Structure 1
Amino acid sequence: MIRIAVANQKGGVGKTTTAINLATALAAIGWKVLLADLDPQGNASTGLGIAQSARERSSYDVLMGETSLVESVIPTKVPRLDLLPATVDLSGAEVELVGLEGRTHRLARAFDAAPPGRWDICLMDCPPSLGLLTVNALVSAQHLVVPLQCEFFALEGLSQLLQTVERIRVAYNPSLSILGVALTMFDRRNNLSQAVAEDVRACLGATVFETVVPRNVRLSEAPSHGLPALIYDLRCPGSEAYVRLAREMIQRLNLVDAKAA
């Protein structure tokens, strides 16, 4: 199972929207996908229409070793897309994990214990911080996708995130690689959006995905209906951008060749 963390310590950059819609796009082409919600706010769970009452077990229980990954996962409305939901219990996990053995590898061990072939890909929606929840995701991941809002302040935390990734590589997970930076909330009417996009490409080059996700009302509306935007309105500019982004991500992962083999 390929594991991809979707992370950025700054909030409001489109992490959850990116995780939900990439997971949906991958499931739509036939992949067995797991979306792990690691954010105490549980927005990925809500955005997929999973009510609080349906979250009997969660990513908190998995991290604490109280249940297995398979026992905690629930199906979604999207065929081939399963969810490891989040509950408010996760808000205390940062403190509780400090005293546990192997606190940085709890999630990795849970993934390793899952039956081989159960899922092809796992996307992890990380909280807007660089605490132990995000560290667990980065330690367990092979790849990292960084959603980056096309606004000035979004650039400030990028170097800090990249430094954290390098520390994780050195200390815990040398195989972790940055799959790409995804520019989100791009407003063509705003010169600043264009300037930020150009600055990011100048700094990071080919690491930045070619696809740019525009600011789009339908992307914002979809979670209130408990649906990914790709199902809520496949033809809106935001959904079309995420389809292209998923295709670009697959190309980078060489998943087409792997599936054919």
Structure 2
Amino acid sequence: MSKKTLPRALRPRGRLHPLILAMVLAAGGTAKTTTTVILATILSLRGYIVRVFDLDPQCNTSEILGRREEHKDPNQKTIWDVIQGLCTLDEATVPGRYRVGFDEDGEPIFAEIPNLYLVHGDSQLTDTDTLLANKPQKFNWFYNLTGQYAKGAMVAQDREVWLLDLPANYGKLTLSTLIGMDEDDEVIPPLLVTGKESGALEKLLRELLRMQQEFAGDMAPAAPTVKNILLCATPTSSHNAQEYHDTVEEVERDYPGMVLPYVRHSGVTAKQYRRQVTPPISDPKSAPSVDYEKVADALGFPDLEETA
């Protein structure tokens, strides 16, 4: 199960835009958002500059990171504006934060998470497929975004990495994002072992292959890889159905050497939505926090604060 840890290249092959890790699987409730948010928090606390893209119309990533719709400045730009070419990436980016309490009027008080930045989500992303169908020139929006680094229009920060929370489908929004990723970037599918997501994993691999074949020879790279698989809600003493063990064994058998350290089942992650604070901050000794620390190690992100 354990994977050998190698330090991750944040500028693979000398490219100028950051390394990209995308949480993708066409199945709802598979811990894509949880993985994105907790891993982003851990990496930021380890000294990495983390930019999180909330590309799911449900905007759950934005919600957990202290940016619920009712808290949004009406003039705040979002990822929807970026896709349309109406603003820069930085204009749609806000500091990630967590709730520390309430003021005397009952309004939430937030503290920023050091090094963590959020490309603000937008429920209007539900219209992305229509937009891209009517304006096909926008389809390369993500590839064009990364290309701005090569042109010198944007400069990546030292130790910067991007984490993408994508919707639970392979529609135009997901595809238009994935085609901007090359073979050094990763698609990381989080699978809940409590269901039949192993079938969804097979579909993901087919979709990635189809995408690569469809866009072969085009300008965009369209070549993200699946090097790692994350099993979530793995069995514990109180969450111990045989089906869960069978799913773990099946994935380990079918994808040898690709399985990351297990993330055990825990009720802690469900609380992060209501609390608007992620477990590495609210419950650093909880199972999700401990397990995702191991995942970060296995993905090749050593603690830069300890080595500084």
Instruction: Rate the CA distance shift 1:256–1:219 in 2: closer, same or farther, 3 A.
Output: closer
Greater RCO (CA < 8 Å, at least 6 residues apart): 2
For residues 104 and 151 of structure 1, the distance between their equivalents in structure 2, rounded to whole angstroms, comes to 35
Alignment match of 1:131 (pick from 165, 171, 174)? 171
Which of the two has greater helix per residue? Answer: 1
Distance of 1:91 and 1:152 partners within structure 2: 26
Establish whether residue 182 from structure 1 lines up as the match of residue 230 from structure 2.
yes
Q: 2:296 aligns with which of 235, 246, 250?
A: 246
Matched, 1:21 2:61: no
TM-score (norm 2): 0.78
TM-score w.r.t. structure 1 length? 0.91
**Residue 71 of structure 1 corresponds to which residue in structure 2?**
91
Q: Is the 8 A contact 1:143 1:176 kept in 2?
A: yes
3-state SS, counterpart of residue 229 of structure 2: strand
Structure 2 Cα separation of the partners of residues 144 and 218 of structure 1: 25
**SS state of the match for residue 177, structure 1?**
coil
What is the CA-CA distance between 1:144 and the residue it aligns to? Answer: 0.9
Moved over 6 A (4+): none
Could you tell me which of 246, 256, 275 is aligned with 1:225? 275
Per-residue deviation, 1:103 = 4.1
Partner of 1:231, secondary structure, is helix
The alignment's C-alpha RMSD in Å is: 1.9
Equivalent residues of 2:179, 2:222 under 8 A apart: no
Please point out which of 117, 123, 144 is paired with 1:88.
123
1:33 aligns with 2:30: no
Partner of 2:209: 166
Q: Deviations over 1:44-83 (max 9, x none)?
A: 0001111214262111111111111111101112100000
Task: Report Cα offsets for 1:125-157 as digits up to 9, x if no partner.
Answer: 001111112112212232111101103421222
The CA distance in 1 between the partners of 2:85 and 2:205, in whole Å, is 29
Closer/same/farther in 2, CA of residues 139 and 174 from structure 1, 3 Å limit: closer
Identical-pair percentage: 22
Instruction: For 1:201, give the aligned amino acid.
Output: E
Contact 2:56 2:166 in 1 (8 A): yes
Q: Which residue of 1 aligns with 2:81?
A: 61
Q: What SS is found at the alignment partner of 1:140?
A: coil
**Which of 23, 28, 38 in structure 2 is aligned with 1:6?**
23
CA distance in structure 2 between the partners assigned to 1:179 and 1:23 by the alignment: 19
Aligned residue pair count: 254
